[in-house]
Chains A and B, each alone.
Chain A
Amino acid sequence: MSENGFEPKIIAFLCNWCSYRAADLAGTARMKYEPNVRMVRVMCSGRVDPSFVLKALALGADGVMIAGCHPGECHYLEQNYKAMRRYYMLRHSLRALGIEDERVRLQWASAAEGAQLASAINEMIDQVRKLGPLHWRQNWSENGDHREAISRMPEEHREAMEVPA
């Protein structure tokens, strides 16, 4: 627990075929991780609409994890690549809105990687705990800096289109 008692809330979208099974495995192996994460099952990381992430943040989540199969191992052949492209675009948009990169994390976890998933969750919780609460809705209405944020968005989007190697 952090000094001021802040405990972040993380929403994690888990692919049914790999990371959801990794979570099952973490459970079966009784690996312990922090209780701040709440999981949503989706059939594929490619199903994660960027609006799911925004919705979670808007409703009070302090961070969002999207977990899917490793590149090249997608149950649906290549949909995790699409998730990855969306993730980078979304991250650029979020940056423009003043949301730190650490709050939205893309995590690859195969069905065998319960330990990796658990440690990624712990790591993310730790990072978000240090960042403090998001208070997105509250900050949004109080600061009202959104005009500037919106004016920055076209440039951010251009950057986002450059998919990293």
Chain B
Amino acid sequence: MSERVGVYICHCGSNIAGTIDVEQVARWAGEELEGVVVSREYKFMCSSLGQELIQEDIRKENLTRVVIGACSPHLHEKTFRRTCTAAGLNPYLMQMASLREQVSWVTVDKRAATEKAKAMISGAVRRVIEQEELTASQVPVNPATLVVGGGIAGIQAALELADAGYPVYLLEREPSIGGHMAQFDKTFPTLDCAACILTPKMSDVGTHDGITLLSYSEVEEVSGFVGSFHARIRKKARYIDEEKCNGCGICIEKCPKKVVDEVFEAGLGLRKAIYRPFPQAVPKFPLIDRPTCIYFERGTCKACEKFCPTDAIDFEQTDTYLDLDVGNIVLATGYKLFSAAKIPQYGYGRLANVFTSLEFERMCNAAGPTEGKIVMRDGVTRPQSVAIVHCVGSRDKRNHPYCSAVCCMSALKFGHLVMEKTDAKVYSFYIDMRPLHKGYEEFYDRLLTEGMTFIRGRVAEVTDAARLPGEEGKLVVQVEDTLIGRQRRIPVDMVILMAALEPQEDARDVGLKFGISCSMDGWFTERHPKLDPVATMTDGIFIAGTCQGPKDIPDSVAQGAAAAARIAGMISKGSVMIEPVVATIHEERCSGCRICNNLCPFNAIEYLEEKAVSWINAALCKGCGTCIAGCPAQAISGAHFSNLQIFSEIEGLLYDALCSNGAGAPQSEIAVEAL
């Protein structure tokens, strides 16, 4: 039976129709392409009217195949598959041609774009004729979820899921959950104390029956697919028996070794060799920092062990491994701060009174190293004037081209705190003020009235070299004030650098481990920037918070909750659809050469000794198709990406090639068999 193909060309408003002559393409497809019985164009194919148009044709014209020339299949393939299914056509008998992303948006010449569009429609029509009915399989969803990262986004995701009654493993590589938010003093624009709103959530996590907290742990390996992932976790040795430890903290008190806390206190404060990052840490157990512990260094001391009332210290403890089965994974791995020393002209690390935003954050914090007193590096002197430098590493082509989104508001917050706690004059050196969200502009207005001085311009240099009277002993901020068009030198006592947010050092490796990709800047890539911001291209892997891009606390919380909602939906449905794109071996053609066995990285291909043929385990097959291309006997076929389908697509795409090269009309029988 010959197939009856319907071709639908979308205008996408003027996105496609502005560059491609859609009427011409549709007419041409209807007249010239074999098998096409209906060919139409429509303003918005994905709208309900557009979809109804297709469905009506499927029913009335008895279409057996559908080709849609519109946007990328990554955007609307699912939509149009549903359209076909609803009209009774198997969804895998529909093929999309990406006329928008691959033609109209990237081509200047209208005539050339129209010709290319014709070729793509021709390729899709030839391919779709060879496509076969497929049935997506349903696999059960394990109700457990692994949340990687215990910052505010991860905490929110974990709590939402656990409150819905589903088991959650919350993994954090640092000794305590809390993330960057735990280091902050106040949060903009409401100025409520970060600890007051975060620590209740942290203790909720610690005490929740549904949450298994895996702190000081890392994911070693991930395998499986949506619904049933398998993760191997390494729980790093704390040298504390968590069963015995009651968190009294005597060990910390008695430890004789003090070291600079580079992580939580950003280098401003000290901690012991056995420590808890901060008093409200969850879990409450301390840990021994092996590289700095006297016992591990010299073999004697054990002060902590001597004084521990519950015998919880265990110097022999080793890393332990844990195997988890989960249905979905949320990555909320956060960000790290740009190293301000990379911009040497700002003097960080060279000029004592240049601070990073995180250092200042710790300094403001009442529980921080200075107990909330704003002082210069000597620890006592109060600054008379403070400069806040925006966009350090952000909006800077030499470092990060993107805007870090939170620094403007943090800078306003810092300005407010400095003026509240000292009499210092505060200067803000900004490029543009970006108070984007609810209540932010009002906060900016408030700072304007509170007397913070705003100077528009990117700072050129921070120097201690005095040139003018009044600059001696000061840090001089050299800037072009772009509002008055003049160079200015502002002498101050203290400089705060609003360092950019950047992806974690190992973001790319983590992405690879979980099978998701990163943007050029290194942030995890979402499935769709607007319509699917927390899902990724790998089903069952979600992203939340700043690992996806710079964002503030409200947005991180929203994403954590959104990821949880997506997962809860899948769990409550109980099963998830898996693409039927897998490979199968035809036993009668297989010679048992076993070449394919080694090609599969997922060990999906087994050699059956008794039959002397290879066999593919469909549950393990991911559908890459490498074995199909590698089989010398062409005994393997791939559903939805068969050789015949791809050959036909190539033939269709090159419908005009042989003619224009002067070698006669294309003949489909050549090449493949001969080669």
Asked if A42 and B641 sit within 8 Å, CB to CB, the answer is: yes
For window 60-79 of B, CB contacts with A under 8 Å fall at 72-75
Which of A50, A76, A78, A118 lies at the interface centre, i.e. has the most chain B CB atoms within 10 A of its CB? Answer: A76
Asked if B651 and A59 sit within 8 Å, CB to CB, the answer is: yes
In this complex, what residue of B is CB-closest to A86? B629
Is A17 part of the binding interface, using a Cβ–Cβ cutoff of 8 Å?
yes
Give Cα A135 to B72, complex, Å. Answer: 32
In this complex, what residue of B is CB-closest to A135? B661
Bitwise, A107-125 to B at CB < 8 A (1) or not (0) is: 0001111000010000000
Asked if B629 and A48 sit within 8 Å, CB to CB, the answer is: yes
Contacts of A137 in B (CB 8 A): 658, 663, 670
Is B116 part of the binding interface, using a Cβ–Cβ cutoff of 8 Å?
yes
Contacts of B666 in A (CB 8 A): 59-60
Bitwise, A20-32 to B at CB < 8 A (1) or not (0) is: 1101101110111
Asked if A55 and B107 sit within 8 Å, CB to CB, the answer is: no
CB contact between B107 and one of A35, A76, A79 (< 8 Å): that residue: A35
Interface band, chain A: 35 or more
For window 649-664 of B, CB contacts with A under 8 Å fall at 649-651, 653-654, 657-658, 660-663
Asked if B671 and A54 sit within 8 Å, CB to CB, the answer is: yes
For window 619-675 of B, CB contacts with A under 8 Å fall at 622-626, 628-630, 638, 641, 643, 646-647, 649-651, 653-654, 657-658, 660-663, 666, 670-672, 675
In this complex, what residue of B is CB-closest to A64? B650
Give Cα A79 to B604, complex, Å. Answer: 14
How far is the CB of B621 from the nearest CB of chain A, in Å?
10
Contacts of B512 in A (CB 8 A): 72-73
For window 134-165 of A, CB contacts with B under 8 Å fall at 134-135, 137-138
Asked if A43 and B517 sit within 8 Å, CB to CB, the answer is: no
Is A67 part of the binding interface, using a Cβ–Cβ cutoff of 8 Å?
no
How far is the CB of B659 from the nearest CB of chain A, in Å?
8
When A35-B109, A111-B517, A137-B658 are in contact, do A79 and B646 touch as well, CB less than 8 Å? no
Bitwise, B96-140 to A at CB < 8 A (1) or not (0) is: 001011110111110011011001100100000000000000000
CB contact between A110 and one of B517, B622, B654 (< 8 Å): that residue: B517
Contacts of B625 in A (CB 8 A): 42-44, 46-47
CB contact between A47 and one of B98, B108, B641, B649 (< 8 Å): that residue: B641
Is A61 part of the binding interface, using a Cβ–Cβ cutoff of 8 Å?
yes
CB contact between B654 and one of A23, A42, A59 (< 8 Å): that residue: A59
Contacts of A54 in B (CB 8 A): 671, 675
In this complex, what residue of A is CB-closest to B72? A24
Give Cα A52 to B660, complex, Å. Answer: 21
Contacts of B657 in A (CB 8 A): 9, 59-61
Is A105 part of the binding interface, using a Cβ–Cβ cutoff of 8 Å?
no
Bitwise, B193-232 to A at CB < 8 A (1) or not (0) is: 0000000000000000000000000000000000000000
Bitwise, A34-50 to B at CB < 8 A (1) or not (0) is: 01001111111011111
When A47-B625, A78-B601, A111-B517 are in contact, do A32 and B107 touch as well, CB less than 8 Å? yes
